[in-house]
Amino acid sequence: MLAKVNELFNKELKVINMGLEYFYNDLKEQKVKVIHVDWKPAAGGDKKLSSLLSRLK
């Protein structure tokens, strides 16, 4: 059985970009399939609240 890494080598790369939009634009320019997450710290950056929220999901 091929490991997941080797499966990836045989597929079209499809990227989710989180953070610098700059990298998203670079990938778009190369016509790579990419989606950018318009990320903001969850719960306004409050770590405790954010970890509670992620447990709720």
Chain residues in the site for other proteins (CB under 8 A): 2-6, 8-9, 11-23, 26-27, 29-30, 32-33, 35-42, 44-45, 54, 57
Give the H or E element holding residue 36.
strand 33-37
- Smallest gap, in angstroms, from Cβ of residue 18 to other proteins? 5
| Residue 37, number of CB atoms within 10 A of its CB | 11
Q: Length of the chain, please?
A: 57
- Smallest gap, in angstroms, from Cβ of residue 1 to other proteins? 9
- Smallest gap, in angstroms, from Cβ of residue 35 to other proteins? 5
Q: Are 3 and 23 in contact (CB under 8 A)?
A: no
